[in-house]
Amino acid sequence: MKMKKILSIVTISFALVFTSCNWDDFGDMNVNPNATTIPTTSTLLTNSILSAGGVILSTQGALYAQHLSNKQYTSGDNYQTINFSTDGWYNGPLMDLQKIIELNTLTPDVTIVNGEIQNQIAVAKILMSFYYLHMTDRWGDLPYSEALQGVDGLLLPKFDSQESIYDNCFQTLKAATASINTAVPNSNLKGDILLGGNMALWVKFANTIRLNAALRLSEVNPTKAATEFASAFNDGVIALNNSENIRYAYLNVQTYENPYYNSFVTAGRADWVIADPLMNLMQLDTYTSPHLSFYSASHPYKNETGKLDVVADPRLPVYANPIENTASTYIGMPYGLSEANAGSISAAQVSFIGNAFRQRNTPADIFTSSQVAFILAEGRLNGWINSAPLTAQGYYEAGIQASLNQHGVGSGFADYITNSEVAYDPARAQEQIVTQKWIAIFPNGYEAWSEWRRTGFPNLAPGDNALTPNGQIPRRQAYGTAEANANKENHTAALQNQGFTADDLTGRVWWDAN
């Protein structure tokens, strides 16, 4: 995984992505082949942002988190793929962002036409931190301090520890926000297809990234977590009324269309269905269906009277489509079936991901008010922000309300919150907060998977056909095979430093102490 753009490796990386069923290995599949290759900072910024949607809508992440199941090809549900390449991230958005910093440093008289110099550099550093935190949460230790040095730089970079990457990202984000000039017009920053040049919102985005990263450290370093959490909160995060949600916008054109739309409509592949763990929680069904007896004489979702349980979560008709020939019957797909067993269930018998999530221009939600409210609820529960205006319960209920409002079903809050599984219980507070966040951030799979690894909530079990050595849900992803071959010494050292006996899916990243 050299930090130079080696054509053969990039070609292999693209091939791996397009022959798989996921669109997350190098960021986003929707890259304009006709885009200019002239390295202007505005173009580089646009190109780097194009990877943001893939972070959120990764199908592999949604499978790990058990938001979704495959209807046909269930290898992803069973963790068949072990190695995931990082090459596309380094040779794509990270390199673009590094180039923005370099050009604004070396030729500011040229790049000033694309925005205030300090703002261009700050935005590049914020996005780099966002991508690096996403990556290190997946792989663990990564090249960081010696990465992105170009063809004339260090080609065999060492791996920095995940702890040091987190430390550096905290410092980078704080320094970036401190340098931003928020007084300039939105139009001043060219190429910003994420926040439209709104520098005040870039500050809040950076602080929200810090807030989320601080919570990730709750089990491994609660003291540092508390300090960084309070700092980010005091500096100001996005509002809790859905007015400042950070969203990557897809467009009504094929090159930039939502990847679920691309899968269902453009590619004609109907495969992504609601997994039964999510369906169970949204129906508040206490019966856990056996994985391999989906269509038995007694349907696993029937209660004692033989009738389907009433849908308790008002978001379910948004998240899922009803099964064929019904108006309101929702059935999840057993998670982790073999392809033979999955093939015995017809498409008419399960609920596919809802139409609202697979329109051509459906956005990818990077951070929402609901997610932030749940983060604050846990921080308040931990005693990290005791002067905050709401209690842990207040933030928890605000998170549910914001999520329902986001999906147009806010009027259902009054009934939903009275359910015994949803009504705030101090004895189960963390479990309830994290579980409701897991539901609310659907289908942001990698984030949901990280929160499950950190806390163990909700209670998820691997599929019956899990191919991991220990038969369990993955705790990380293995490095790309090119990494082991081309940067072997540093790759081996990274495994040893993390205490891994093998580069596989079972090792735990630094903060995964649950």
Domains, in order of start, for the chain: 7-237+479-497 (1.25.40.390), 369-440 (no CATH)
Give me the pLDDT at residue 270, please.
Answer: 86
The Cα 72–Cα 454 span in angstroms is 30
Give me the pLDDT at residue 26, please.
Answer: 52
Distance of CA 255 to the CA centre of its chain: 22
Q: How many CB atoms lie under 10 A from the CB of residue 470?
A: 12
**What stretches of 95-198 show up as alpha helix (H) in DSSP?**
95-106, 108-111, 117-139, 162-179
| DSSP 8-state secondary structure symbol assigned to residue 188 | G
Give me the pLDDT at residue 246, please.
Answer: 98
Residue in 366, 78, 325, 351 with CA at minimum distance from that of residue 237: 366
Give me the pLDDT at residue 149, please.
Answer: 87
The Cα 17–Cα 242 span in angstroms is 33
Give me the pLDDT at residue 363, please.
Answer: 98
Give me the pLDDT at residue 220, please.
Answer: 98
Helical axes 162-179 vs 199-216, angle rounded to 10°: 160
Give me the pLDDT at residue 284, please.
Answer: 79
Give me the pLDDT at residue 24, please.
Answer: 62
Give me the pLDDT at residue 152, please.
Answer: 59
Q: Which residue has the tokens 């995060």?
A: 237
Each residue's pLDDT, cut to its tens digit, for the chain (514 residues) gives 433 333 233 333 333 333 334 556 554 544 544 444 557 999 999 999 999 999 999 999 999 999 999 999 999 999 999 999 999 999 999 999 999 999 999 999 999 999 999 999 999 999 999 999 999 999 999 999 999 986 555 789 999 999 999 999 999 999 999 999 999 999 999 999 999 999 999 999 999 999 999 999 999 999 999 999 999 999 999 999 999 999 999 999 999 999 999 999 988 888 999 999 999 999 875 433 433 334 332 333 333 333 344 447 999 999 999 999 999 899 999 999 999 999 999 999 999 999 999 999 999 999 999 999 999 999 999 999 999 999 999 999 999 999 999 999 999 999 999 998 999 999 999 999 999 999 999 999 999 999 999 999 999 999 889 999 999 999 999 999 988 899 999 999 999 999 999 999 999 999 998 7
Give 158's contacts (C-beta < 8 A, 6+ positions apart). Answer: 143, 145, 146, 490, 493
Paired tokens of 181: 């000039």
Residue in 111, 95, 83 with CA at minimum distance from that of residue 13: 83
pTM of this prediction exceeds 0.75: yes
Give me the pLDDT at residue 12, please.
Answer: 31
Give me the pLDDT at residue 153, please.
Answer: 59
Give 247's contacts (C-beta < 8 A, 6+ positions apart). Answer: 363, 364, 365, 366
